[in-house]
Amino acid sequence: MIQKKKLAVVSFPPISSGVTQYSLRLCEALSRDNRTPQVFFLCNNSVPSTESIDFAIVKLIGRTRQLPVTLMKFIKYIISRKIDIVHFQDFFKYPLLTYMLMFFLKKSGRKIVFTAHDIVPHYPRPYHAIIIRRIYQLADGVITHSKANAQELSKLAGRLEHTAVIPHGIFDQFRKPAVIEKKKARVKIGVPPVGKMILFFGRIDSRKGIDIFLKEMPKLLATEKNVFLVIAGRVAFPENYLSKIINQLGLGENVLLFNGHIPEEEVESFFMAADAVVLPYMEGTTSGVAKIAFAFKIPVIATNVGDLPETILAAKAGIIVHMPLLEAEVEEIASLLKGEKADLYQNYDQIMENHSWTSIARETIRFYCDLMGIKPAADFFPAGRERDAASL
């Protein structure tokens, strides 16, 4: 039994980060059953406390200038609460500090788990490769979200003793029970009520490839004139960079830019207003935005990056394209927008089951049990799925 153990799930990014959203949903799922560990969520100061959350939220991780105090509070909390498993969900701002924390905690007898949402940090420095490799080799267990990510991890860190492929959960918390209609959603966010809308959602920077997709829009408009692109998120490009591209290509009437953080209560309207979601990423490991699109059954147009091909094609949730677009891919996108792909989301119920947070919590518990040499409680798993952790 694992219920006497204590688990600390650690997330460094702010609440707007997909990693923190993932961590919150995982903690919620783990804390629903008394056969799971006692859960503590150690997080950034910006994560709000909510009465509906049935686990401890501990705000320890502050700003960079508070770093010495933060590290001391972090270590003191783990030791004083006698935490058994420390599950890191991301690299600290400085990967070397992540390694130092993990090293100290492992020496003090804790099991260390690391979920590789990104195999390497975004915009890595040349010296990061050695540190990142050491982090993965130091961890008692590493979780990735796809076979492709596991292969990338193996190339970087070599053969690791304990790894698990556990899918990324679907962010269905943004989908309300009474779903807003498409026309009302468009009116609510101020976009044209007619035409086909492609949505780019999330942080807007060079690795996301939206500037390249903008340059491909004239090709699409030559095939399907009544199409417009909505870009929603905080822009990290130099000032007016995207606006210059839009103006140079004469896309002013076909592109709408919402620069800034999109509040959670508005996420549903953006996705319900869309006919497709585009992820023209240049690099990355996974995408939380794709998991929001899955929840709304919105077709996804994505590049061959990270786990996107594996998850999107398995779910029959969209198409994989190149950047720049090939001629046949332009036609395929136009067909997608017209609703001519009849097999989209055919196995939706199975997708929702495989990517449910309950299922992910079960697989995560199995992994914890394996690392600690504990046989999980058989009644925690559905009939027909019981198995010893040692057999994983």
Alpha-helix runs per DSSP H in the chain: 18-30, 67-80, 95-107, 128-138, 147-157, 182-189, 210-223, 241-248, 264-273, 288-296, 308-314, 327-337, 348-354, 357-372
The reported pLDDT for the residue numbered 20 is: 87
Beta pairing partners, 230: 199, 256
Which residue has 């490769």 as its token pair? 129
Instruction: Look at residue 202 in the predicted model and tell me its pLDDT.
Output: 94
Task: Give the pLDDT of residue 34.
Answer: 63
pLDDT of residue 389: 30
pLDDT for the residue numbered 49: 56
Q: What is the pLDDT of residue 65?
A: 67
CA distance 365 to 376: 8
Three-state secondary structure call for residue 10: strand
Which residue numbers in the chain have pLDDT < 70? 1-3, 14-16, 33-36, 45-53, 61-65, 376-392
- Predicted pLDDT of residue 280: 98
Q: In order of start, what are the domains of the chain with their CATH numbers?
A: 6-169+356-391 (3.40.50.2000), 173-346 (3.40.50.2000)
